[in-house]
Amino acid sequence: MVAIGSGIVTTARLSDIAAQAGVSEATVSRVLNGKAGVSATTRQTVLAALDVLGYERPTRLRQRSAGLIGLIIPELNNPIFPALAQVIEQVLSRHGYTPVLCTQTPGGSTEDELVELLVERGVSGIVFVSGLHADTTADHERYNKLIGRQVPFVMINGYSERIAAPFISPDDRAAMWMAVQHLVELGHTKIGLAIGQRRFVPVLRKVEGFRAAVQELLGLTPEEADGWVHHTLFSVEGGHAAAGVLLDKGCTAIVCGSDMMALGAIRAARQRGLAVPQDVSVVGFDDSPLIAFTEPPLTTIRQPVEAMAIAAVDALLEEVGGNPAQRAEFMFQPELVMRGSTGASVR
């Protein structure tokens, strides 16, 4: 056992902390007992691991927070948003900042109200995830006002050339190309796209990528390609409704704008007595936590969550430190993860 002030950390807990921090148990012991021979970076990594695992820091090792960073996400129902939030919070903690998570809920605080609350609390910066910046119909002047108040911020998902800020995005067009190419290689020629509302930038990009892929790989005209796209809500219910329309059109494969939509599409297929993937193949988007354990395990496009989160925090902290990051979009490549929900076409 290792004594820490008036408390004790057991060997079992030492191994947990070491695994989280990616260092040896001996290194963890040196940090917790204030011994020399550990770099400042490694020491901070171990302390961050303590925080992530929910262990209380010894009194003499507690450091004053470098500042508060606001994190605004649209919801918690879609697993991809908590996943992003968790990684962002971990990275911020490693840098000594305290994350303040704000979630928008129906009937609750609006994005503008949350921003005002964070600014009043004196946050050093804000990370926006899939916020109003991604909505082409929203007034983006709100962000220019935030710049005027000298509050640094960074955006994830939903690029807008009208906002002077760093943007972090997955390549939605490439993602759709990967999905369609995978299904074409399995012999599918009637491929549909179940996607969210047209006003969102990621939706527009996914549709562009899908249209380009089916036109080139299947020889469809632009009008024919549009006929295989159905806009709905980003939810299980939305995916269920869209799948019903696409199955009526004879689709043997459906690409979905989110994993939640894909689960809805699978449910719709089963209600019609169709098997996945024997009768209908389904592809999701995000690779949300636990999605590999669905039945069947979902083939999906994986968002590079960790790389995007790290890039977002790095860009924001450059801004906070007085070194303005490039006012541009940083695009990250997604990955096709093939599992059990896609198979060869039998029609």
pLDDT of residue 8: 45
pLDDT tens across 104-119, in order?
877 778 999 999 999 9
Please identify every stretch of the chain with a pLDDT value under 50, giving residue numbers as ranges: 1-12
Which is it for the CA torsion 314, 319, 325, 330, positive or negative? positive
Beta-sheet pairing, 7-9 with 2-4 = antiparallel
- The Cα–Cα gap between 288 and 149 comes to 36
DSSP string, 194-248: EE--TTBHHHHHHHHHHHHHHHHHH---HHHHHTTEEE--SSHHHHHHHHHHHHH
The gap from C-alpha 211 to its chain's centroid, in whole angstroms, comes to: 24
Q: Which two tokens stand for residue 210?
A: 């899908």
- The Cα–Cα gap between 86 and 306 comes to 10
Distance separating the N- and C-terminal Cα atoms of the chain: 64
pLDDT of residue 170: 96
pLDDT of residue 61: 62
DSSP string, 141-197: HHHHHHHHTT--EEEES---TTS-S-EEEE-HHHHHHHHHHHHHHTT---EEEEE--
